[in-house]
Amino acid sequence: AQSVSQHNHHVILSEAASLELGCNYSYGGTVNLFWYVQYPGQHLQLLLKYFSGDPLVKGIKGFEAEFIKSKFSFNLRKPSVQWSDTAEYFCAVFTSGTYKYIFGTGTRLKVLA
Amino acid sequence: SQTIHQWPATLVQPVGSPLSLECTVEGTSNPNLYWYRQAAGRGLQLLFYSVGIGQISSEVPQNLSASRPQDRQFILSSKKLLLSDSGFYLCAWSVGVSAEAFFGQGTRLTVV
């Protein structure tokens, strides 16, 4: 069965610190990978997505993620976080074979000013 | 442009009562439709998804069911609510195999 694991449930960083959030998935077929962000009181919105090609994907607000197929991973990174990055981050996997859209349990990021 | 409507925003229902949450999408055809339950620390749990009219796939056996009577309409139902059905329910849609998911405003259901 498909699943998505996010290992960090809560992360606290100071402004300007670097960020890396882990995401691993289990599925043997072709996947499309996403990171979403949910700011307090708002809907989920897309940060970035990977379908094919360059495994290093750049998204909005300075975020990037790297797809490592051999590790079934799609970790999210940002070199220098800002207070406004405080939010919950979700990794998601879409499988074209089943049309399932599976989300991880989320990581709550708090950035201290 | 595409929009998604989900209602009601909040709902308080007694145990044993029926449930019907509705979600409609505008501005697109043949979307993939999804129902999720979002809970703190558990992320978004996929409940049901549909790739076409009348086609429903269930992910979690429970006291809920889903239907898709029209291309852009997705309904989450229960015949008799349980206390454990309380939660925040989200409807979402995507198109094709590479598009992002778009979410409704959600419904906060409280079963009392």
> Using one digit for the tens of pLDDT, what is the confidence trace for A43-102?
899 999 999 899 999 999 999 999 999 999 999 999 999 999 999 999 999 988 888 999
| Residue of B61 and B31 predicted with greater confidence | B31
Give the strand pairing for B73-78 and A73-78: unpaired
Burial of B61 (0-12, 13-18, 19+ CB in 10 A): exposed
Name the DSSP letter for residue B100: P
Q: With an 8 Å Cβ cutoff, is A13 touching chain B?
A: no
Q: With an 8 Å Cβ cutoff, is B96 touching chain A?
A: no
Tell me the average pLDDT across B31-39: 94
Q: What percent of chain B has pLDDT over 90?
A: 79
Specify the pLDDT at position B61.
67
Closest Cα in chain A, distance from residue B81 (Å): 25
CA pair distance A23, A30, nearest whole angstrom: 16
Specify the pLDDT at position A37.
96
Instruction: Provide the pLDDT confidence category of residue B86 given band limits of 50, 70 and 90.
Output: very high
Structure-token pair, residue B104: 């409704």
CA pair distance A34, A102, nearest whole angstrom: 10
Closest Cα in chain A, distance from residue B15 (Å): 28
Tell me the average pLDDT across B67-76: 96
For residue B78, report the phi and psi dihedrals to the nearest 5 degrees. -150, 145
Q: Nearest Cβ partner of B49 from A90, A92, A99?
A: A99
